[in-house]
Amino acid sequence: MPRSRLKLLRVAAALVVFAGLTAALADFRNLVPAAVGRWLAGVQLVPSLVALVTGAALSLAGVIIIVATLAVGRVYCSAICPLGILQDVIARLAAWTHRGKRKFLPYARPKTWLRQGFLWGTVAGVVVGWSGLTLALLDPYSNFGRITAGLFRPLVTLANNAIVGLANAAGLNSLYRVEPHWAGVGALTIPALMFVLTAALAAWRGRLYCNTVCPVGTLLGWFAQRAAFRLEIDRGACHKCVACLNVCKGQCINLRTGTIDFSRCVACFNCIGACEHGGISYRLAWRRKTSPAAPATAPTACLTPPDPQRRAFLTGTATALAVSLGAGLRLSAQDPAGPEPLRPRENGGRVDPDDHTKAICPPGAASIDRFLDRCTACQLCLSACPTQVLKPAFLEYGLSGLMKPRLEYSAAFCNFECRRCGEVCPDGAISLLALADKQLTQIGEAHFDQKKCIVVVKGTDCAACSEHCPTKAVHTIPYGDNLRLPEVTRDLCIGCGACEYACPVLPEKAIVVAGHRRHGRARKPVETKAAAPTPAGDFPF
């Protein structure tokens, strides 16, 4: 294959992945099909491995990425990882500010212990039971998801609103105003800091973030160091013109020694296209190299001495990989998805009193503990939710649930006919339930405080909560002088929040939903048959 085509293929793949994921995560009108976001998120390394290890899905994308890395190096980092592609975009924009000239980036020694520190920190977090938070903080795809959904999506919405008037005046009535959805300050802090960090490092030193902080980059670097085909310098053809250094993102080309640190090379193929002398190319590295012309008594000084940093990198990463696989077994042994059956108490309640929680996780999560362990907080489900009832958590779940989706019923509710969050979740944290099962999954229970209800306070009728309840768990009973007061049948309630959303009482609603730590199964309402029609000509009384 011609050298120029390698870069073109990489750029084409990167554009497809980056544009597709950006569109899915920044979609504020639900125009992007769920399959687009699900598929592109499913080919990301961490979500794919989480789904595979936990048994949520037979996702082989992570295995394919590792095999590809063992074959030709870190192609994932340049062509599939959206955060890496975003860094390339920022670096290119930074170059334009320098009148189109890229900053000269000479070879830099690897930050081996820093890379190992972040990788081992990730492994330690998984081992001690903080897998969800650790992966959420350090997974590059999830960081990109939060940056796009939390920062870019509201800005795109504001831009849409700014041009609606002009578009409508020009006859384009397909555009309309949409209320922007901003996350809370606490939940928005980490994505904002991550964007500033990656943008600053990309503008300053290219892929420095990928080769120092990102544990995925470190892990794939270990496999790339053992790749079958590696980029190597032909010392006979190299003129040391430094054209390759001008385009290298990883600062991994050492012209003094004529070597490339392939553990830090992100396989962007820029150097191949920049070299006019054919001095850099892929070569089979697994074949033992021999030199028949060399004398048998060659001086040992000519042999390349072992690199202690490279040896430490390989040893440390291999150990971390082994520990990670062991830690993954803990995730796979957790309780499977699915609501548990009804467990009535003597007082007629639904579940034990310790099961109530402030934060409510989506249907299909099965339990908060399972959800927090598996969710990497990519927030694709937040962008896909048609009612925007899903919001990023701050401390509602506790520290381990930072930035994870939760249901907020103050301005929306969970649509009875919707399964969109399960359709887009790439790692199985939200299982895709059959619609009939979803409609009986009890994620919480409604609690009614009649002291706040306007029927009691103002002596006027209000049946907003019962009218919006899809399961008829909220109904009305006679009260006072020709009034009706809401009442909740808890074993019919699924906790969708329609009643809380509809309640007009402010600032505190008269009916609120308390979540369950472990989801249950509500009783299916009994359908009452309508009275038989009266035969024509007969009176009904």
Residue 292 domain-assigned? no
DSSP reduced 3-state for 134: helix
Looking at the structure, tell me whether residues 274 and 361 fall in a common domain.
no
Domain that holds residue 457: 353-521
pLDDT digits (tens, 9 = 90+) for 368-398: 999 999 999 999 999 999 999 999 999 899 9
Give the model's confidence band at 181: pLDDT under 50 very low, under 70 low, under 90 confident, else very high.
Answer: confident
Which pLDDT score, from 0 to 100, does residue 175 have? 86
d(CA 39, CA 349): 41
Residue 378 lies in a domain: yes
The verdict on residue 526 lying in a domain is: no
Q: 106 and 250: one domain?
A: yes
Closest to 317 (Cα-Cα) out of 209, 216, 229, 210: 216
Structural domains counted in the chain: 2
Residues 370 and 221 in one domain: no
| 256, 64 Cβ separation under 8 angstroms | no
> Is 357 inside any structural domain?
yes
Domain limit, last residue, from 237, 265, 287: 287
Assess if residue 95 is contained within a domain: yes
Summarised one tens digit per residue, pLDDT across range 464-475 is 999 999 999 999
Residue 297 has pLDDT above 50, yes or no: no
DSSP H or E segment with residue 484: strand 483-488
**Same-domain check for residues 9 and 148:** yes
What pLDDT was estimated at residue 59?
A: 84
Asked if residue 141 and residue 49 are part of one domain, the reply reads yes
Q: In 138-295, which ranges are E strands?
A: 229-233, 253-254, 259-260, 280-284
3 state SS of 236 = coil
Does a structural domain hold residue 309?
Answer: no
pLDDT digits (tens, 9 = 90+) for 115-170: 999 999 999 998 888 888 899 999 999 999 999 999 999 999 999 999 998 888 88
Tokens 């002088």 map to which residue? 481
CATH number, domain with residue 361: 3.30.70.20
- Show the beta-strand stretches assigned E in 266-369: 280-284, 356-357
323 within some domain: no
Task: Classify residue 298: in a domain, yes or no.
Answer: no
Q: Average pLDDT of 85-89? A: 96
Amino acid at 347: N
- Does residue 152 share a domain with residue 60? yes
Bridge partners of residue 406, in order along the sequence: 391
Are 229 and 367 found together in one domain?
no
CB 271 within 8 A of CB 247: yes
Tens-digit pLDDT profile for residues 334-359: 555 555 554 443 334 444 545 667 78
Question: Do 358 and 261 share a structural domain?
Answer: no
Q: Is the pLDDT of residue 330 over 60?
A: no
**Looking at the structure, do residues 237 and 143 belong to the same domain, yes or no?**
yes
The 8-class DSSP code of residue 353 comes to G
Asked which of 115-119, 158-162, 329-333, 413-417 is least confident by mean pLDDT, the reply is 329-333
Are 247 and 364 contained in the same domain? no
Last residue of a domain, one of 240, 255, 287: 287
Beta bridge partners of 516: 356
pLDDT of residue 170: 86
